[in-house]
Amino acid sequence: MRHFLSDEHGRRNALRRGGGLTFVSLDVSSAETRLADPTTDDSPDARFEREWALQVVESALTTLESEARDKGRSDQWEVLRSYLSMESEPPSYPETAARLGMTVTALKVAVHRLRQRFRELLRSTIADTLEDRSEVDDELAQLIQALRRP
């Protein structure tokens, strides 16, 4: 019943049949993996928020990968995606720069732009779910909080 009125209002005002939205296919295998071992300490709301956050991040990563592929930079994407991960330590800049045939400065600029584009995609995806776009920062903070939970 939490947020029922807000959700109902959003449904009534939603554009019909996807109106201008880009649909992203769900990767069933990754969803099954995440859902197969839910943490039993979480409330249903916390699990929902975590799954929502993971889906938003996955959508942004999928879009970044698609953009890289469209620009013919799939190889660069495969290497640079590790700089977006919160789970593992990325390789050093000199090591990656040598691997990609770039200078360290050019690599730092590329990573900065990749992170900036990732933030833009996250904000855009979140904004698309809100009626009031001024709430994006609050929702982004909730997304980060949901991802930090074990």
Token reading at 8: 């109902």
Amino acid identity at 131: E
Q: CA angle at residue 125 from 119 to 127, to 5 degrees?
A: 100
Q: Could you read off the pLDDT of 60-75 as tens digits, one per residue?
A: 999 999 999 999 999 9
Q: Could you read off the pLDDT of 17-53 as tens digits, one per residue?
A: 444 455 444 555 555 565 555 554 568 888 888 888 8
Percent of the chain with pLDDT over 70: 71
Cα 105 off chain centre by: 26
List the domain boundaries for the chain: 44-148
Q: Could you read off the pLDDT of 93-128 as tens digits, one per residue?
A: 999 999 999 999 999 999 999 999 999 999 998 888
Higher pLDDT, 77 or 32: 77
- Rounded to the nearest integer, the mean pLDDT of the chain is 80
The set of residues, in sequence order, having a beta carbon less than 8 Å from that of 67 and lying 6+ positions away, is 117
- DSSP state, residue 19: T
